[in-house]
Amino acid sequence: MELVRKPSIFRVFGCVIVFAQVISGFYLPGSYMHTYSNEDPIYAKVNSLTSIETELPFSYYSLPYCKPLGGIKKSAENLGELLMGDQIDNSPYRFRMNVNETIYLCTTTPLNEHEVKLLKQRTRDLYQVNMILDNLPVMRYANQNGVKIQWTGFPIGYTPPDGSADYIINHLKFTVLVHEYKGSGVEIIGTGEEGLGVISEADKKASGYEIVGFQVAPCSIKYDSEVMTKLHMYDNMSSINCPSELHKYQVIREQERISFTYEVEFVKSDIRWPSRWDAYLKMEGSRVHWFSILNSLMVVFFLAGIVFVIFLRTVRRDLTRYEELDKETQAQMNEELSGWKLVVGDVFREPECSKLLCVMVGDGVQILGMAGVTIVFAALGFMSPASRGMLLTGMIILYLIQGIVAGYVSVRLWRTIKGTSEGWRSISWLAACFFPGIAFIILTVLNFILWGSHSTGAIPISLYFELFFLWFCISVPLTLIGGFLGTKAQTIEYPVRTNQIPREIPARKYPSWLLVLGAGILPFGTLFIELFFILSSIWLGRFYYVFGFLLVVLLLLVIVCAEVSVVLTYMHLCIEDWRWWWKAFFASGSVALYVFLYSINYLVFDLQSLRGPVSATLYLGYSLLMAVAIMLSTGTVGFLMSFYFVHYLFSSVKID
């Protein structure tokens, strides 16, 4: 096994996740190296059946496949895997290290009407079988028009273009790439598949083989069932050549008995264990990706820089002119001129629905903090795709921990607006329940749809109790603690007094909300390219691992949201509109509207294979949840920056 030394901060983060997993009853999968000796048995595992046409995962054993001799056993799954609908089971596929052989598995009983209907439906919906060997997903290669294309998984069956019949894939040619490993007496730090971390000392003379690749070439073969039924599982067979004629394929029809076989070939490779995931994480069209991201960054920086420079010069000129005048002239200007100086007595007036604003800002800080820390750890390589579900699990745990920040920010903003700590408990409770409540409602509706479809993507009722436990026993108490700390924090004092009678806002030719909604276009321009790759990785079954790009885009998005919101706030104050609170929030938060519209565009033009009302409903539901999270986080950035800008602007003006 390989030495992996993590900095102390990573160990702390790992301990937090492991501790949370122990609380919730789940464990992270192993990601450290396994070595095998010659003829050591290795068993492959099977994951849920997936399809880009329906996005509804189903259990592998929902189809009439061969079952293991010892029965079906589920692998230990973590919180992230369960939420993603992964159902990892053992399988009868057994390999012996460095032994090339052709193996017979089993022959099914005659297919009944229900099994035939299910097999044909899964075949025509392009469902893929996902297998795992030593934590590596199986990969399939094919040549189309001279281009080498790779997929993870292999199809259940094949339907010819004329649709005359459906044929099942019943023979698999596996190629296992191995690298010879020689031990050197190193320390091993990791989390095992069967439980918690293991720390031991490797034998200095240890050596063996590590698995660095797992490939498959599927085909369909029609066997003589009478001959095949005389064999037993794992009996050796002679080598098999895959046929190219349709009449030699195994057709799917009633009363047919299907025989399953496989062969394995071990090939020595120069690929080292740390590099074995490179083939899965390779970005197709990387030059286009780089050019698009860099071009977007340059354009947005240029536009945001111009807006910010003009804005700074305008504010500085106004302040200089105002402060150079004597008091008598200032009073005369206040009577004759219009502008942001005239709303000095109303700019800090309490906004409508102030409690909701405090809660949304607190939840926005919580989501933004969770996203930022997750992306940083992922960009540093801590959340490897080799650890299944770790990214989603880490996001959930970080969100729970960030509850203390949400409570603190919500209550402190409430104290600033109200001038008192009264009602801080209700603010803390609302902050702990607002976004999780929205997510719970959306996911429950989608879960009923998945339950009705008998999909493995449906969250089991036991997991609901686990999530409720994490929510009310970790997140809510932390949010209340944060709220209590917010009551002890120093109060933010307003630099000016608020008049008793609100100032009348001048009439405008157009609604100010049109400008607020339009402001989200510029922040959307910073992330729409990366959004395409993220949606593709989620809905087209691709791996997303360019978190360095995503971190840059996140930082750029925060900067642009802050600038846009400040500019819009200044414009509203200049036209004597002192109701800037909610407009500052939605000026940057309106980017979520464009994200949701882009998601619909992606569904119509890029997910043309996605079909059926159930699949479309699931897609729109998850897109809506993502848009709400983006609205809260980006709106919070814009509001907090605008608040500090308004506070600074009016504290710089001499007021008697």
User: For residues 562 and 502, what is the distance between their CA atoms, to the nearest angstrom?
Assistant: 28
Residue 141 Cα distances to 127, 150, 174, 217, 276, angstroms: 17, 4, 12, 8, 16
pLDDT at 93: 95
Model-wide pTM > 0.85: no
Structure tokens, 651? 């504290």
pLDDT at 283: 55
Q: Which pLDDT tens digit goes with each residue over 257-290?
A: 999 999 999 999 998 888 888 878 765 555 555 6
Q: Which pLDDT tens digit goes with each residue over 404-458?
A: 999 999 999 999 998 888 889 999 999 999 999 999 999 999 999 988 888 888 8
Angle of helix 591-605 relative to helix 521-539, nearest 10 degrees, comes to: 40
Mean pLDDT value across the chain: 82
Confidence class for position 76, pLDDT limits 50, 70, 90:
low
pLDDT greater than 50 at residue 22: no
pLDDT at 387: 74
Nearest to 190 by CA among 79, 81, 34, 44: 34
Nearest to 304 by CA among 641, 643, 653: 641
User: For residues 656 and 344, what is the distance between their CA atoms, to the nearest angstrom?
Assistant: 11
User: For residues 89 and 49, what is the distance between their CA atoms, to the nearest angstrom?
Assistant: 12
pLDDT at 8: 42
pLDDT greater than 70 at residue 31: no
* Percentage of the chain modeled with pLDDT above 70: 82
Amino acid, single-letter form, for residue 587: A
Least confident segment among 143-147, 280-284, 472-476, 615-619: 280-284
pLDDT greater than 70 at residue 215: yes
Pairwise pLDDT comparison (260 vs 36), residue with the higher score: 260
Residues pairing with 106 in the sheet? 260
pLDDT at 274: 82
pLDDT greater than 80 at residue 191: no
3-state secondary structure 190-246: EECCCCCEEEEECCCCCEEEEEEEEEEEEECCCCCHHHHCCCCCCCEECCCCCCCCH
Helix (H, G, I), strand (E, B) or coil at 88: coil
pLDDT at 314: 65
Query: Chain centroid to CA 84: how far?
Result: 10
User: For residues 31 and 78, what is the distance between their CA atoms, to the nearest angstrom?
Assistant: 13
Confidence class for position 372, pLDDT limits 50, 70, 90:
very high
Q: Which pLDDT tens digit goes with each residue over 153-164?
A: 999 999 998 877
User: For residues 178 and 269, what is the distance between their CA atoms, to the nearest angstrom?
Assistant: 6
User: Mean pLDDT throughout 299-319?
Assistant: 68
pLDDT greater than 80 at residue 88: yes
pLDDT at 1: 32
pLDDT greater than 90 at residue 598: yes
Q: Helix, strand, coil proportions of the chain in percent (round to 5)?
A: 50, 15, 35
Q: Which pLDDT tens digit goes with each residue over 315-362?
A: 666 666 656 555 555 555 544 444 667 778 888 888 989 999 999 999
Least confident segment among 72-81, 101-110, 235-244: 72-81
pLDDT greater than 60 at residue 84: yes
Structure tokens, 71? 């029965």
Helix (H, G, I), strand (E, B) or coil at 2: coil
User: Mean pLDDT throughout 639-655?
Assistant: 81
